[in-house]
Amino acid sequence: MNAEGQAFFRRLSEYLGLLRENRRIERVVKALSAEVQEAERKYAEEDEQLAREFVALRGDLVELAPEAGEDAEAEHPGQREPFDPAEAERWRAWSFTLANFDAIAADQENQMREEREGDRSRSRALGEILNAKVYNLQYPDDPNRKVRADLDDLRTRLNHLRDQQNGAASG
């Protein structure tokens, strides 16, 4: 039972047999599986609600700072070549546009959403994009010099939503 690496996979059928033969273990595994499925269902609902709230916050941001929406029509960078540094930079830049935000919000095929700490949710990605937008508006040249205090209330609401999202993801 202490098999690791390749030995684990060679003995996998033995482990499965043990699980099938032991009714108590089988009940525990089924109960855990049901619990995991329920947690995933609940998180999917929370993610959907949070995504709607991030979309509403996006509207508020563009209303307060119309320049934030200038990249909402940014062209998708196209097919990704993993070994081209210039293309990698285009993809990275596009991933923080409102065009990508909108693609994620609508769950379109052309979205770019990466996993962070096991979380690939829409709400996490939407929150990251808005956070970058607000930060870059407030601190465009110097992280020690805020130039847009008018976005402080929006930043507070954004941080609150992101805290909710983090709690839902870890909970």
In the predicted structure, residue 1 carries a pLDDT above the cut 60: no
State the residue for tokens 């329920």: 38
In the predicted structure, residue 138 carries a pLDDT above the cut 90: yes
Q: How many CB atoms lie within 10 A of CB 54?
A: 25
Residue 144, classified by CB atoms within 10 Å of its CB into exposed (0-12), middle (13-18) or buried (19+), is exposed
For 25, phi and psi rounded to 5 degrees?
-65, -40
pLDDT at 9: 65
pLDDT at 6: 61
AA letter at 165? Q
pLDDT at 3: 58
Among 21-25, 72-76, 132-136, 149-153, which is the least confidently predicted range?
21-25
pLDDT at 91: 87
Averaged confidence pLDDT in the chain: 88
Q: What is the pTM of this model?
A: 0.80
- Choose the most confident range, by mean pLDDT, from 1-5, 43-47, 151-155, 166-170: 151-155
List, for residues 94-137, the tens digit of each pLDDT value.
Answer: 999 999 999 999 999 999 988 887 788 999 999 999 999 999 99
List, for residues 50-70, the tens digit of each pLDDT value.
Answer: 999 999 999 999 999 999 999
Provide mean pLDDT across the span 138-153: 96
